[in-house]
A and B are shown apart, each in its own frame.
Chain A
Amino acid sequence: MELLRFFTAGNVDDGKSTLIGRLLYDSKSISTDILETLTKQSKSTGVDADIDLALLTDGLRAEREQGITIDVAYKYFTTDKRKFIIADTPGHVQYTRNMFTGASNTDLAIVLVDARHGITEQTRRHSIISNIVGIPHVLVCINKMDLVNYDEEVYNQIKADYTHFAESLNLKKVSFIPTSALTGDNVVKHSENLKWYQGPSLFEFLETVEIEQDFKTQEARFQVQYVIRPQTEELHDYRGYAGSILSGSFKKGDKIAVHPVDLTTTIEKIEKFGQEVEEAHAGEPVIIHVADNIDISRGTTFVPNTTFVPNTTFVPNTISITDGNTIHTPSQSIQTEKTFEAIVCWMDNKSFQPGQKLLLQQNSFRSKAVIKEIDNKINIYNFKSEPSDGSLHLNDFCKVTIKTAETLSFDEYANNRKTGSFILINENTNNTVAAGVITS
């Protein structure tokens, strides 16, 4: 069975909570005692329907009182084919940071559109956020079809409008499904009312949509989380670097470059759960042993030596001549810099103060950092760059120049979501104040 993580975005009242509730309800993922509480609650909030499916996804009391979802809530359901993790995020513009957060870890975005209103500013904003986060696949759910008489024309028009808009972004893949969350049309079962629609129901779509396995085919990256040194008698010299393969794969005997110390060595052994393995791939937690005694600690990055450029006489083995005489050019190599450009989403209630002391964290790597310059502000309604007035407020997206104290080893986010992403931490409050994706 596979795991699919997706997030949902929509305007307030587009029917997001109802849709998720419907998915859980119709896939029989709701227990009777929870349904019972919901029925009780639905009565006390005076909602008509037997159960208000939206209540399923509303978590905390403060939010219940305000009647809006203000955080990222995680929901789970399982079918015979897949386990799903839903990051349910609020739609309001003032919760842009929550949406960015919910989206950061997912493979698919479901953007809800009210069939009566078509593409709105909010739809654009949600799609642009998905675009910045680099979601591989966007599904546009054209909801409330019951309120437009299940009209195919309405659906086609919205589809055309969205397709036109999406051309200005670099979304990799976009799909469309007409639904009615309230009546359940096309959510789990195909609908008589939507006979003209030949595609899958939302449920079928979720069960079959291809999950991008990007990380597997990318350049190999590994970062040390923790150094294991038992220091017992029989394991006196044991020194293993524990961490997860971030992307690509490593093999025993691979020549690697170690950053930021800029040294090369060889992988002597890879262990996984107490057993030696020949090879390990993206996502796998392992312990790596290297041949030379060099300074390696938490946050140290391993990459194939082929991408290590300075003063090396080593012939990169990715350049090989195959049968068809085509030359494989080496893929994007790791960059090691103290200054780089990124798009950040400011997440703190307090705005950025010039000179503010920050810590940058990328996976397990941390360094002191400053935002040197705020280059541009990104308009999240049309994705255009606007001149910056030098400020950075909650929910702003800006192109910035960041300088770190230690050398950072990274890839551009577009090439690698694991090594191209980071958070900024306020050194005084310890809060996570921004999330960023490296652009160059």
Chain B
Amino acid sequence: MLHCNIPIKKDVAQQHPIINPKTQKKVDYLDQLEAEAIYILREVAGQFERPALLFSGGKDSICLVHLALKAFRPGKFPFPLVHVDTGHNFPEAIEYRDNLAKELEEKLIVRYVADTIKEKNLQDGKGKFPSRNGLQTYTLLDVINEFEFDACIGGARRDEEKARAKERIFSVRDEFGQWDPKKQRPELWNIYNGKIDQGENVRVFPISNWTELDVWNYIKRENIQLPSIYFTHERECIKTEHGQWMNVNEFVQLEPTDKIEKVKVRYRTVGDMTCTAAVESEAHTVDDIIAELKDTKISERGATRMDDRVSEAAMEDRKKGGYF
């Protein structure tokens, strides 16, 4: 069941009446964030010939799709949804993805990391939690080349990580998908310069200025449906040395010392099953999640990502290599 269809429900519209300047009613910050994101999406539509929206099945990209509906309906999206499937995705996220594309009648392109590994004879992820996070960059760059995408819209936010805090909204990548922090263009007012040469592309981040809490408040306000793994459920997990809960699945190499426990958990991000940790939670509803977030002390990445812990500058290096 999806609630993405425009027109937006009546009660939502009434909750947010048009602001009359004469009565000096204050504009809500979610309206401003939403307006900014829609403005950016429309700039992508206006400036590029072959844009794409990178869809991960996670809450941030689900919000992007919702914003795209608001930006372009009754027209079709001026871009396809593109998913790089690591093969380690949560089945709930994949199901959600397929339903969404079908319901919205929008084009969905899926490319598989497994195919890239075969084609390029790459080494698959190894170890206890075999990650394909690094490998998905190859698939991403391939799909960009295949369709000659000149702009890729993503759901990254500046509050996620320090190296992202300086990310532009229009972030220029060279032919190799590389990001050079020294070559980023200054971004002034609401003027976005997406002019590029053949072969280059721009990564666009419409929700750069949103925080995790903003995203949840927006999901609540707009009544956006999410994959079930964002809410509490029982799951078989093992505890890692950092004290994080990892779910037991066919990809994780169990060790004799691992104790499998049934825990009530939910996911704060929906990434690769092998490197996204679950958090203990009793949150059944979006309201529960918001309440929970308001008194959690750990950042989204810190709580759920195993791959950034390796080094302080891990993200920066991955980005330079073409990672989103």
Contacts and interface: CB of A to CB of B under 8 A. Distances in A.
Interface string B65-96: 00000111111101000000000000000000
Contacts of B195: 359, 425, 430
Contacts of A105: 188-190
A279 B28 contact: no
A3 B29 contact: yes
Contacts of B297: 31-32
A361 B74 contact: no
Given A31-B297, A281-B20, A78 B193 contact: no
A266 interface: no
Interface in B284-306: 296-299, 302-303
B260 interface: no
Nearest to A420: B189
Contacts of B78: 226
Contact of B191 (A57, A97, A363): A363
Interface in A47-81: 57-62, 71-76, 78
B166 A31 contact: no
Interface string A268-306: 000011110101111111000000000000100000000
Contacts of B191: 361-363, 421-423
A174 B266 CA distance: 48
Contacts of A104: 188-189
A37 B185 CA distance: 29
B6 interface: yes
Contacts of B189: 104-105, 417-418, 421
Contacts of A274: 6-8, 70, 73-74
Contact of B18 (A74, A229, A280, A423): A280
B298 A423 contact: no
A243 B38 CA distance: 9
Interface string A183-217: 00000000000000000000000000000010011
A437 B38 CA distance: 25
A75 B162 CA distance: 9
Interface residues of B, number: 67
A85 interface: yes
A73 B302 contact: no
Given A83-B214, A101-B186, A230 B74 contact: yes
A213 B24 contact: yes
Contacts of B197: 430
Interface string A118-160: 0000000000000000000000000000000000000000000
A162 interface: no
A243 B43 CA distance: 9
Interface residues of A, number: 75
B316 interface: yes
Contacts of B159: 76
Contacts of B209: 74, 76, 85
Nearest to B183: A431
A348 to B, nearest CB: 9
B108 interface: no
Given A105-B190, A225-B46, A243-B42, A273 B6 contact: yes
A228 interface: yes
Given A76-B158, A249-B21, A2 B312 contact: no
B35 interface: yes
A172 to B, nearest CB: 18
Given A31-B299, A33-B302, A225-B45, A435 B72 contact: no
A273 B35 contact: no
Contacts of B302: 31-34
Given A59-B162, A74-B158, A361-B191, A285 B211 contact: no
A100 interface: yes
B213 interface: yes
B26 interface: yes
A422 to B, nearest CB: 7
Interface in A212-245: 213, 216-217, 225-226, 228-230, 235, 238, 240, 242-244
Contacts of B303: 33
Given A83-B29, A244-B35, A273-B6, A73 B193 contact: no
Contacts of A33: 298-299, 302-303
A298 B46 contact: yes
B316 A60 contact: yes
A20 to B, nearest CB: 11
A74 B208 contact: yes
A1 interface: yes
Nearest to A230: B75
12 contacts: A1-B28, A31-B302, A59-B162, A75-B165, A97-B186, A101-B186, A213-B24, A226-B45, A240-B75, A283-B32, A421-B188, A423-B193
Interface of A: 1-3, 31-34, 37, 41, 57-62, 71-76, 78, 82-83, 85, 97-98, 100-101, 104-105, 213, 216-217, 225-226, 228-230, 235, 238, 240, 242-244, 249, 272-275, 277, 279-285, 298, 347, 359, 361-364, 417-418, 421-423, 425, 430-432, 435
Return the 3 tightest CB-CB contacts between A and B, nearest first.
A33-B302, A216-B21, A274-B7
